């Protein structure tokens, strides 16, 4: 493991001269356990403040909800099992949007990256599509693909596509010319250059944007659900809003946040396997 | 051969430019530059360069930095088409990539996403060699360059010297008849460099490739080569002199530098080079002044 660089200043046995200077400037960083405890305490303080303010009627409960009721709502979703179909729906939409977005981004990124003429031809359209706030495509996708999974995946794909596309396009354009020349000298034909140089080089750029791509897929799924759906965590929030159930809205937001954090953690784990471990193919 | 007429001569100063003398009689040389010029837009990097590398010969090209050495090698590799003139490989005019040649680049050319072994066998993979056989040969070559047991390392997990060894194995495993080397050891520390130079000489003695070796280091050129070609300072670079190195083989590159004959050759060649080095130096000073 790499040591936290900020922590290394605390114990510098070989260099006493540096110590007296450091002390007055910055207070020592607390250890990881203390830090976690502090973070938890802060969370508790926020919840308690929320609770107290609402109970004391300093905040209107109609708009701000009640943390106890929010918590009860979350528990009841899980106890009754009602939440799982929604979580599963959002997860499937996210994964599909991610996979299709990555695949199309890589494919078209490679194609345009390797063919300057096509790239020049498409350039204004790509720029326009990228500049457009693509969330507004949501209603159109609902008209085209209905209220089911399709419209959410489509929205997610348009979001993921551009992240991946630009990375692959850049990756292909900036392939190390020496590696390319070396491969040609080693006897690579055009197809082999594509599979052994261009694609791996572009993929390393895709890996670097994995978090962003998964996040975009998730945003696409949830926003799509929110715009109109019959299932999914976004749908839960939409429902709660329609019935002015602010506690359920907050409960939905919390579930979504935890979902996003778990997803991000999963990406980090996958990344570690793919980039650091690099197991034999 | 150019020097067949002068069996006694150790170092032969050629009239500049070398011109037609570089087209030898007899069997076609491994590599022949026939009045090659290279222009990048308005800039003439190489002008009317003629030289050759005989079959199994070790030839070094020495010239000041930026004079066009890499450009010449790229032309020999078929990566760069000359603006004028021809490249002949064993008597046949070169078109496209030089399939008889292996190229050791000045910069790192290993694929960072492949292990050492996987890098070494890349050329075999391109040629469609069966995987198991390729890996067996790859491990043999890793051992030959002193890297047995390091096959699973990625380039970023290796030192500069180790990466050069991998690159050397990657090039030689394909058994090219001609090996082009572009200042392959210039980035290494002195000790590693001497080690690798000796290893290169051993490999060359074993496999007898025709080598065109580029360096800006005159000592390195003399200690390794059969012949040293001096380039003029750029622009419009061309060979201005060539010297046969009659030092006995096998050589130890560290020890041979202490011998009187080496010192003598060094001074002769240095005298021929000095003017060009000064020219290049002055040009750089002027560039800095602007
Ligand atoms: N692709 C290129 N386009 C324009 N100029 C180039 C190109 N390659 C090399 N040159 C120029 O040609 C000259 C010789 O370059 P190079 O062969 O790399 O020198 P050396 O290897 O001797 O240091 C340099 O002045 C360099 O700027
Ligand atoms: Mg160079």
Contact: B77, A189; criterion CB under 8 Å: no
Q: What pLDDT, on a 0 to 100 scale, did the predictor assign at position B17?
A: 39
**Could you count the other beta carbons within 10 Å of the beta carbon of residue A92?**
16
Residue B77: closest C-alpha in chain A: A185
> Which parts of chain B fold into alpha helices (H)?
69-77, 116-120, 122-126, 131-144, 160-172, 190-207, 218-224, 253-256, 260-289
pLDDT at res. B285: 79
Model confidence pLDDT, tens digit, residues B137-173: 999 999 988 899 999 999 999 998 899 999 999 999 9
Residue nearest to atom 8 of ligand 1 (CA): B71
Kindly indicate the confidence band of residue A126, based on its pLDDT and cuts at 50, 70 and 90.
confident
Which strands, in side-by-side order, build the sheet including B92-93?
A: B43-53, B31-40, B84-89, B92-93
**Range with the lowest mean pLDDT among A55-69, A73-87, A93-107, B76-90?**
A55-69
Report CA-CA distances (Å) from B135 to B16, B121, B130, B132, B177.
Answer: 49, 7, 9, 5, 22
pLDDT digits (tens, 9 = 90+) for A86-97: 999 999 999 999
| Integer Cα distance of B76 and B74 in angstroms | 5
Q: State the average pLDDT for chain A.
A: 85
* B19-42: average pLDDT: 80
**Strand, coil or helix: what is A277?**
helix
Chain B residues within 8 A of A197 when measuring between CB atoms: 111
Probe residue for ligand 1, chosen from B71, B215, B238, B284 as the CB with the greatest number of ligand atoms within 8 Å: B71
Of residues A30 and B247, more confidently modeled: B247
Q: Is the pLDDT of residue A150 over 80?
A: yes
pLDDT at A228 over 90: no
Transcribe B129-191 into DSSP letters.
Answer: --HHHHHHHHHHHHHHTT-TT-TT--GGGS-HHHHHHHHHHHHHTT--SEEEEESTTTTS-HH
| Identity of the residue in B112, B113, B126 whose CB atom sits nearest the CB atom of A186 | B126
pLDDT, position A57? 87
Q: Do A186 and B77 touch (CB under 8 A)?
A: no
Report in angstroms the alpha-carbon separations of B80 from B67, B75, B84, B124.
Answer: 16, 5, 12, 24
The span from the CA of A261 to the CA of B35, in Å, is 66
Minimal CA separation from A182 to chain B, in Å: 6
Closest ligand relative to B74 C-alpha: 1
Residues 6+ apart with CB under 8 A from A80: none
Percent of chain B residues past pLDDT 70, beyond the cut: 91
Digit-coded pLDDT (tens) for B196-242:
899 899 989 998 899 999 998 999 999 999 999 999 887 889 998 99
How far apart, in Å, are the Cα atoms of B230 and each of A270, B242, B244?
Answer: 54, 6, 12
Q: What is the ipTM of this complex?
A: 0.86
Which two tokens mark A235?
């749908």
How would DSSP label each residue in A147-172?
SSHHHHHHHHHHHHHHHHHHHHHHHH
Side-chain-facing half-sphere of B96: CA atoms under 13 Å: 6
| Closest to B143 measured CA to CA, from B124, B166, B164, B161 | B166
CA gap B206, B198 in Å, rounded: 12
Q: Does the distance separating the beta carbons of B111 and A178 come in below 8 Å?
A: no
A182 interaction partners in chain B (CB closer than 8 Å): 103, 105, 109-110
- Maximum Cα–Cα distance across chain A: 78
Which of A186, A189, A204 lies nearest to residue B113, judging by beta carbons? Answer: A204
Measured distance CA(B73)–CA(B34) in Å, rounded: 14
Helix (H) or strand (E) holding B211: strand B210-215
B43 CA closest ligand 1 atom index: 5
pLDDT at A205: 82
Q: How confident is the model at residue B126 (pLDDT cuts 50, 70, 90)?
A: very high
Position A278 pLDDT exceeds 90: no
Percent of chain B with pLDDT over 90: 69
The 10 Å Cβ neighbour count of residue B286 is 9
Chain B residue closest to A189 (CA)?
B126
Residue of chain B with shortest Cα separation from A191: B126
pTM for the complete prediction?
Answer: 0.77
What average pLDDT does this structure show over A105-114?
Answer: 91
Which ligand is nearest the CA of B47, by number? 1
pLDDT tens digits along A168-196:
988 888 899 999 999 999 999 999 999 99
* Residue of B24 and A239 predicted with greater confidence: A239
């Amino acid at each position: 493991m790499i040591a936290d660089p900020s922590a290394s200043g605390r114990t510098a046995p070989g260099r006493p001269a540096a110590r007296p200077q450091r002390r007055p400037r910055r207070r020592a960083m607390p250890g990881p356990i203390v830090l976690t405890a502090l973070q938890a305490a802060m969370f508790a303080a926020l919840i308690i403040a929320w609770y107290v303010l609402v109970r004391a009627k300093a905040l209107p409960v109609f708009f701000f909800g009640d943390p106890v009721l929010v918590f009860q709502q979350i528990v009841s979703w899980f106890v009754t099992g009602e939440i799982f179909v929604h979580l599963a729906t959002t997860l499937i939409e996210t994964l599909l949007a991610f996979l299709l977005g990555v695949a199309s981004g890589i494919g078209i990124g490679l194609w345009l990256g390797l063919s300057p003429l096509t790239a020049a031809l498409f350039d204004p359209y790509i720029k326009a599509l990228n500049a457009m706030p693509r969330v507004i495509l949501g209603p159109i996708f609902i008209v085209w693909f209905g209220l089911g999974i399709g419209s959410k995946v489509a929205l997610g794909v348009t979001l993921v596509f551009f992240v991946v596309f630009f990375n692959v396009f850049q990756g292909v354009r900036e392939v190390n010319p020496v590696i390319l020349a070396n491969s040609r000298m080693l006897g690579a034909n055009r197809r082999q250059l594509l599979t052994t140089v261009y694609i791996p080089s572009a993929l390393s750029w895709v890996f670097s944007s994995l978090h962003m791509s998964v996040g975009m897929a998730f945003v696409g799924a949830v926003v799509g659900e929110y715009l109109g759906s019959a299932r999914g965590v976004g749908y839960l929030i939409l429902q709660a809003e329609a019935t002015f159930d602010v506690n359920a809205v907050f409960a939905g937001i919390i579930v979504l946040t935890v979902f996003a954090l778990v997803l991000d953690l999963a990406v980090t784990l996958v990344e570690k396997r793919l980039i650091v471990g690099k197991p034999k193919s | 051969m150019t020097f067949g007429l002068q069996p006694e001569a150790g170092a032969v100063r050629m009239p500049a430019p070398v011109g037609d003398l570089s087209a030898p009689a007899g069997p076609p040389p491994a590599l022949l530059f026939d009045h090659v010029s290279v222009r990048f837009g308005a800039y003439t990097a190489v002008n009317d360069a003629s030289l050759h590398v005989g079959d199994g010969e070790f030839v070094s090209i020495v010239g000041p930095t930026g004079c066009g050495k890499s450009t010449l090698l790229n032309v020999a590799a078929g990566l760069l088409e000359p603006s004028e003139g021809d490249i002949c490989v064993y008597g046949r005019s070169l078109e496209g990539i030089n399939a008889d040649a292996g190229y050791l680049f000045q910069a790192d050319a290993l694929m960072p996403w492949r292990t050492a072994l996987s890098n070494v066998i890349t050329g075999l993979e391109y040629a469609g060699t069966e995987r198991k056989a390729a890996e067996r040969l790859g491990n043999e070559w890793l051992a030959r360059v002193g890297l047995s047991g390091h096959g699973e390392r990625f380039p970023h997990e290796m030192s500069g010297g180790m990466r050069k060894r991998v690159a050397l194995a990657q090039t030689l495993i394909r058994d090219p008849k001609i090996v082009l080397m572009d200042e392959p050891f210039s980035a290494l520390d002195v000790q590693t460099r001497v080690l690798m130079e000796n290893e290169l000489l051993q490999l060359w003695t074993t496999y007898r490739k025709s080598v065109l070796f580029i360096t800006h280091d005159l000592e390195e050129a003399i200690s390794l080569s059969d012949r040293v070609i001096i380039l003029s300072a750029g622009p419009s670079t061309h060979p201005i002199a060539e010297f046969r190195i009659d030092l006995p083989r096998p050589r130890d590159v560290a020890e041979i530098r202490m011998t009187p004959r080496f010192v003598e050759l060094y001074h002769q060649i240095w005298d021929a080079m000095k003017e060009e080095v000064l020219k290049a130096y002055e040009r750089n000073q002027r560039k800095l002044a602007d």
